[in-house]
Amino acid sequence: MMQRKLALVVGIGALTFLLMLRWEHVITLVNLMSSKRPSAEPELRKGTITPIPGSRHLMVSAFKDHRLGGAIRVISIICKQERQPLYCVLCANANARADAMADGALNQCAFSPAKVDMHSESFGFPFVTSDVLCMSPALQQATHVSITANQNANLTFLTIQNREVKESFKYNFTVCISNLFQEYNNALQFAQTMEVYKLIGVQRVVIYNTSCGPDVEKILKYYRKEGMLEVVPWPIDKFLPPSTGWKYDLHHGDMHYYGQLTTLNECIYRYMYQSKYLLLNDIDEIIMPYNHANLENLMGTLQQQHPNVGVFSIENHIFPDTQFDDSGRIRLPQWSSVPGVNNLEHVYREPDRKHVFNPTKLLISPRSVQQTSVHSTLKQFGLFFNVPFDVCRIIYVRVPLQRQLSKDQLFVDKKLWEFEELLISSIDRALKESGML
């Protein structure tokens, strides 16, 4: 008992001493494995979300940022009211293999104060997406990191990703879909959207899943098995009460839209060296080139015209789900038992309103972005460009925004029908293989 107390006093003393130094100089090497006490054994994390000990904050994943001199960025969810100091524990794996953490493998660790960079956008909610930054010149070779508010806590380590810069990428176009929640079961629209993506040149789709309905579950499993889809578990509701809406004054909860901003930012870093471009849109939106056959041609042109642009913003246009194509050509009997919206039936588009802001979504080069919000980036390295709506726009089939407009006041926009032949057969195949038909 006495010994423990003594250890605590010595620990606090050492900490105070360290805090008196400037933080970039505060580096102390600790040997986590030297003691056989169970509380000293580091653990590798299992889920996507991990509590930061001694706080209400959460950490998500860790990435080396080569644009910031190799700083380690831990994407986190920070409770704005709590301002206690946080600490980084960076460890280098003794083995060459990063993920092997046998006894004694994490034997060199550096302890330093963390720098917390809260994103400027939180829509008023008490928890905000943040970057916890760790810079330790002594440990450029770090393979694992842990964040803590309490030095004596049992630590959980995250693997540091993006340790190498890559110049060529596995995918050219990846769609990041921020969150699925509340038993979302719009299966037909999702399968249609995935098949349209394929035809315009998307090779990968990433979805953060809090929960979904039984039919969307079947479709997700099909695309994951088929190889196009990565499903990232996102059990945010197990850690805090998330909001189902976007604005704190209007919607209850501790965090904007199930942590949409956290997942969007996580996706940027997860795919930084996997994909040339990322499309940051919702599950029911399609970023569609109108003047080019596919995204490859579109971006070839745009990037040639605007070589220093890394953020392209694309206007959203509403196709009311209350207005149907009169002919009923694409109301296929085999789809009638599949729950969800049939995109191909909704060919009427709402006109722009002069004095109303047209929300945009983003098509980015992930390596030029540091932090993003939903409709614009928050910190980026390159320039940004508003893509004209006749070149590329978002097809968004949803409840109308201008409810009073009759059919003849809307524009006919049959862009999706250009893909009809290939599209219908591939949608049928996907539904069949998912066990829906």
Ligand X SMILES: *[C@@H]1O[C@H](CO)[C@@H](O)[C@H](O)[C@H]1NC(C)=O
Residue 370 host element (H or E):
strand 369-372
The residue to which tokens 């991990």 are assigned: 50
Tell me which residues in 108-167 interact with ligand X (CB under 6 A): 152-154
Phi/psi region, residue 79 (left: phi>0; alpha: psi -120 to 50; beta: rest), is beta
Specify whether the CB–CB gap between 308 and 383 falls below 8 A. Answer: yes
Residue choice 52, 220, 298, 338 for contact with ligand X (CB under 6 A): 220
| Binding segment (CB under 6 A) for ligand X, from list 78-86, 217-225, 266-274, 409-417 | 217-225
Residue choice 1, 20, 38, 304 for contact with ligand X (CB under 6 A): 38
Residue choice 189, 209, 243, 365 for contact with ligand X (CB under 6 A): 209
Counting contacts by CB under 6 A, is residue 221 touching ligand X?
yes
Counting contacts by CB under 6 A, is residue 39 touching ligand X?
yes
Nearer CB in complex with ligand X: 39/305: 39
The dihedral built from the CA positions of residue 184, 190, 194 and 200, taken in this order, carries a sign that is negative
Q: How far is the CB of 287 from ligand X (least distance, A)?
A: 17
Counting contacts by CB under 6 A, is residue 227 touching ligand X?
no
Counting contacts by CB under 6 A, is residue 313 touching ligand X?
no
Specify whether the CB–CB gap between 320 and 410 falls below 8 A. Answer: yes
Counting contacts by CB under 6 A, is residue 172 touching ligand X?
yes
DSSP codes of every residue in 198-248: HHHT--EEEEEES-B-HHHHHHHHHHHHHTSEEEEE--GGGTS-B-SSS-T
- Write down the number of H helices and E strands in the chain: 6, 24
Nearer CB in complex with ligand X: 258/348: 258
Nearer CB in complex with ligand X: 55/95: 55
Residue 115 host element (H or E):
strand 115-118
| Rounded Cα distance, 213 and 182, in Å | 8
Tell me which residues in 46-105 interact with ligand X (CB under 6 A): none
Counting contacts by CB under 6 A, is residue 231 touching ligand X?
yes
DSSP codes of every residue in 139-173: GTT--EEEEES-TTSPPEEEEEE--S--SS-SEEE
Q: Per the structure block, which two tokens stand in for 342? A: 């049939």
Specify whether the CB–CB gap between 267 and 179 falls below 8 A. Answer: no
| Rounded Cα distance, 236 and 252, in Å | 15
Q: How far is the CB of 403 from ligand X (least distance, A)?
A: 33
Counting contacts by CB under 6 A, is residue 218 touching ligand X?
no
Using CB under 6 A as the binding criterion, the count of chain residues that bind ligand X stands at 16
Nearer CB in complex with ligand X: 95/172: 172
Q: How far is the CB of 36 from ligand X (least distance, A)?
A: 12
| Binding segment (CB under 6 A) for ligand X, from list 127-135, 188-196, 213-221, 409-417 | 213-221
Q: How far is the CB of 182 from ligand X (least distance, A)?
A: 11
Residue choice 203, 342, 365, 372 for contact with ligand X (CB under 6 A): 203
Residue choice 74, 114, 212, 392 for contact with ligand X (CB under 6 A): 212
List contacts with ligand X (CB under 6 A).
38-39, 152-154, 171-172, 203, 209, 211-212, 217, 220-221, 231, 296
